[in-house]
Structure 1
Amino acid sequence: MRIGELARRTGVSERSPRYYETQGLLAAERTSGGHRDHPEPAVDRVIRIQELYAAGLHSERIRQLLRCMRDQDGGPSASATPRPVEDLTAERARIDRTSSSARPATADRRTPERPTHQEAPVPPVRP
């Protein structure tokens, strides 16, 4: 399938699969005219990549994990070992530490003149 169809079916821009290819996350054959031709499993692969980016992982870590994952359901592939689970647990702890250390800095920037969305007054509901 061409890159436009892959992008449409996965909800990403056409630039994303190109980027994934440069990062070694996605492979494509080339037509005689030089166009990318993605196999059907690329749809599951792009969705999986998006999920891993959304979880806070970077390209290198995703590349390592994809070798051990099935694209269709994210489960472990036949080549999976306990090591990726240990690595993911450590990665999650790192993300949690980064996230919790960022919260106080954000809280310090709030002022009474500039309430956050949660602090904004809610207008009364009229019957």
Structure 2
Amino acid sequence: MNSLPSHRLLTIGALSKLTGASVRSIRHYDAHGLLASVRASNGYRMFADKAIAQVRQIQRMIATGFTIDDIRSFPDCMLLIEGARSCDQISDVQRKRLDAIEREIAELERRRARLLKTLSEGTVPPVE
């Protein structure tokens, strides 16, 4: 994006402080097209005010288990409004992510049981 609205522009450091996201994370989101930035005459990235809500929303989605690629596929309304409700278009992605998380939990529970057995018996049980 070549130009941003004439609203207040934020440096990456200011955006980091306002959102709690690291500068590195913000650069990563920008590099993957989740944020729009322009370069100031000094070469610094500058972000429009709306980037505050966008970064917070991206953080929420990542904390829910979505990947950057998942988030990139979401409709813009999911990024532009902090706390936006899920759109019908992403329910399949949400179900798939939930299934993946449930598989990970099941695997961790199996590992936990093996480790508990190892601790109680003093030997490593055979793989089942």
TM-score using structure 2 length: 0.73
Deviation per residue, 1:48-107 (Å, 9 max, x gap): 11111111111100111253414233235xxx5x33122212221222222222221133
- 1:25·1:66 contact (CA, 8 Å) conserved in 2? no
Residue in structure 1 matching 2:94, options 88, 104, 110: 88
**Normalized per residue, which structure has more helix?**
2
Distance 1:47 1:62, change over 3 A: same
Larger RCO (CA under 8 A, 6+ residues apart): 2
Aligned to 2:7: none
In 1: Cα distance, 2:65 partner to 2:12 partner:
25
In 2: Cα distance, 1:61 partner to 1:48 partner:
13
Unaligned runs of 5+ in 1: 113-127
- 2:11·2:45 contact (CA, 8 Å) conserved in 1? yes
Counterpart of 2:114 in structure 1: which amino acid? D
1:1-127 → structure 2 map (5 Å cutoff): 1-69=10-78, 70-75=80-85, 82-110=88-116, 111-112=119-120
Identity over aligned pairs, percent: 29
**Normalized per residue, which structure has more strand?**
2
Aligned to 2:5: none
- 2:56·2:82 contact (CA, 8 Å) conserved in 1? no
Let me know the Cα RMSD of the aligned residues: 2.0
TM-score using structure 1 length: 0.74
* Runs (4+) off by over 6 Å: none
In 2: Cα distance, 1:32 partner to 1:53 partner:
32
